[in-house]
Structure 1
Amino acid sequence: MIRAEGRTSELLRRDVCCNESMNDISRFDGLDGLGGSGASELFQILRDGRPRTRTELAERMGLSRSTVTLRIEALMELGLVGYVDEAVPTGGRPSSRIALQAGSKVVLGVDIGASHLRLAVTDLAGHRLRETTRTIAVAQGPEVVLQAVVELATGLLGESERTTGDLLAIGVGVPGPVEHRTGRPINPPIMPGWNGFDVPGFLQDHFHVPVLVDNDVNIMALGERNVAWPHVDDLMFVKVATGIGAGIVASGRLQRGADGVAGDIGHIRVHRGGGVPCHCGNLDCLEAVASGPAVAAQLRAQGLDAHTGEDVVRLVQAGHTEAVHAVRQAGRDVGEVLSACISLINPSVIVIGGSMTLTGEHFIAGIREAVYSRTVPLATQHLQIVQSGSGLDAGVLGASMLAIHHAMSPQRIDAMVNGLTAPAAG
Structure 2
Amino acid sequence: MADLRITTKALPEHNRLRNRAMLLQTLFHDGPRSRADIARGSGLNKVTVSTIVGDLIEQGIVVEAGQSTDVRVGKPATLVALDEDSRSIISLDLSDALSFRGAVMNLRGRAAHQRQVDAVTEKGDAAIARVVSLAEELLAEASAPVLGIGVGSPGIVDRSGVVRYAPHLGWFDADLRGALADRFGLPVHVVNDANGMALAVHTFRDNDGRSILIVTIQRGAGAGLIVGETLVDGVDFTAGEIGHVVIDPRRETTCLCGRKGCLDSIVAVPQIRRRLDDGEDRDSVMDDAADALAAALGPIISVLGATHVVLVGPEDILDDGFADRTRARLVDRTLPTTTSVVSVDIGSDGGLLALQGPLVAVLSAELGIS
TM over 0.5, shorter chain: yes
What stretches of structure 2 of length at least 5 have no aligned partner? 4-10
TM-score by length of 2: 0.84
Alignment partner for residue 63 of structure 2, among 79, 82, 87? 82
Whole-Å separation in 2 of the counterparts to 1:265 and 1:104: 39
Paired AA for residue 223 in structure 1? A
Corresponding residue SS for 1:168? strand
Amino acid at match of 1:237: I
Q: Please point out which of 122, 127, 134 is paired with 1:145.
A: 127
Matched, 1:265 2:242: yes
Aligned equivalent of 1:277: 254
Alpha-carbon offset, residue 378 of structure 1: 0.6
The letter of the residue matching 1:403 is V
* Structure 1 SS opposite 2:116: strand
- Listed one character per residue, the Cα deviations across residues 98-153 of structure 1 (whole Å, up to 9, x for unaligned) are 332222112222111243212122222222222222221374324x3344344433
Asked if 1:126 is matched to 2:126, the reply is no
1:318-397 alignment runs, 5 A limit: 322-355=281-314, 358-397=317-356
Pick from 153, 166, 189: which aligns with 2:167? 189
Equivalent of residue 195 in structure 2, options 211, 218, 224: 218
* Pairing partner for 2:151 from 172, 175, 181: 172
RMSD in angstroms over aligned alpha carbons?
3.1
In 2, the alpha carbon distance for the partners of 1:346 and 1:185 equals 28
Structure 2 CA distance for aligned equivalents of residues 75 and 406 of structure 1: 16
Q: 1:68 to 1:367 in 2, by over 3 A?
A: closer
Q: Tell me the secondary structure at the aligned position of residue 61 of structure 1.
A: coil
Matches within 5 A, 1:288-303: 288-299=265-276, 303=278
Specify the code of the residue in structure 1 equivalent to 2:281.
E
**Higher normalized contact order (CA 8 Å, seq sep 6+, divided by chain length):** 1
Q: For residue 19 of structure 2, what is the aligned residue in structure 1?
A: 41
Shift of 1:373: 1.4
User: Identity of paired residues, percent?
Assistant: 25
1:266–1:285 Cα contact (<8 Å) kept: yes
- Matched-pair contact (CA < 8 Å) for 2:211–2:226: yes
SS of the counterpart of 1:130?
strand
Question: 2:147 is aligned with what amino acid?
Answer: L
Identify which range, 112-121 or 210-219, moves more after superposition: 112-121
SS in 1 for 2:363: helix
One-letter identity of the residue aligned with 2:138: L
| Aligned counterpart in structure 1 of residue 45 of structure 2, from 54, 62, 85 | 62
Contact 1:150–1:203 under 8 Å retained in 2: yes
d(CA) in 2 for partners of 1:52 and 1:208? 34
Structure holding more strand per residue: 2
Letter in 1 for 2:222: G
Counterpart in the other structure of 1:97: 79
Say which SS state the counterpart of residue 355 (structure 1) adopts: coil
Structure 1's 323 and 72: CA in aligned 2 closer, same or farther, altered over 3 A?
A: closer
1:308 is matched with none
Larger gyration radius, structure 1 or structure 2 = 1
Secondary structure at the counterpart of residue 13 of structure 2: coil
8 A contact 1:356–1:363 mirrored in 2? no
DSSP 3-state at the match of 2:55: helix
Equivalent position of 2:7 in the other structure: none
Note the C-alpha offset of 1:279. Answer: 1.2
CA distance in structure 2 between the partners assigned to 1:40 and 1:236 by the alignment: 28
Letter in 2 for 1:392: G
What secondary structure does 1:186 align onto?
A: strand
Alpha-carbon distance, 1:380 to partner: 0.8
Q: Structure 1 or 2: larger helix share?
A: 1
For residues 231 and 50 of structure 2, the distance between their equivalents in structure 1, rounded to whole angstroms, comes to 37
Runs of 5+ in structure 1 lacking a partner? 1-16, 21-32, 305-320, 411-426
Residue 243 (structure 1) aligned to one of 220, 242, 249:
220
1:171 alignment partner, SS class: strand
Q: Distance in 1 between matches of 2:335 and 2:73?
A: 65
Whole-angstrom distance in 2 between the partners of 1:106 and 1:126: 10
Evaluate the alpha carbon distance shift between residue 332 and residue 324 of structure 1 in structure 2; reply closer, same or farther with a 3 A threshold: same
User: Which one is further off, 43-52 or 396-405?
Assistant: 43-52
Are the structure 2 counterparts of residues 61 and 357 from structure 1 closer, same or farther at C-alpha, using a change threshold of 3 Å?
same
